[in-house]
């Protein structure tokens, strides 16, 4: 058995404390006051990432997540809109 989903809702986690889980498919990091997207490049199976209600100002560091199909980032501190192609 392996962990496929982790919910860290309102735990005020530090991004450096996240452990890489190769089988992780869903990660909930909403409502944590994150100022940046954590380094997730080792989570190669991550398909859903929930980052809403944080303090993130820039979307970056997701290029290695080739299986990512859902990204939730509403209610953050973005000052511009990016094009995802």
Q: Is a pLDDT exceeding 60 seen at residue 63?
A: yes
If phi over 0 gives left and psi between -120 and 50 gives alpha, with beta otherwise, what is residue 3? beta
pLDDT in the model for residue 23: 85
Task: Report pTM.
Answer: 0.79
pLDDT in the model for residue 73: 94
Q: pLDDT digits over 3-62, tens only?
A: 566 666 566 555 555 667 788 899 988 888 889 898 888 888 999 999 999 999 999 889
> Please, are residues 59 and 37 in contact by the beta-carbon 8 Å criterion?
yes
């Amino acid at each position: 058995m392996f962990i496929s989903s982790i919910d860290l809702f309102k735990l005020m986690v530090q991004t450096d404390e996240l452990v890489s889980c190769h089988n992780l498919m869903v990660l909930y990091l909403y409502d944590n006051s994150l100022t940046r997207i954590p380094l997730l490049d080792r989570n190669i199976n991550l398909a859903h990432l929930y980052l809403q209600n944080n303090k993130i100002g820039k979307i970056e560091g997701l290029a290695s997540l080739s299986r990512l199909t859902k990204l939730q980032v509403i209610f953050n501190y973005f000052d511009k809109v990016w094009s995802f192609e």
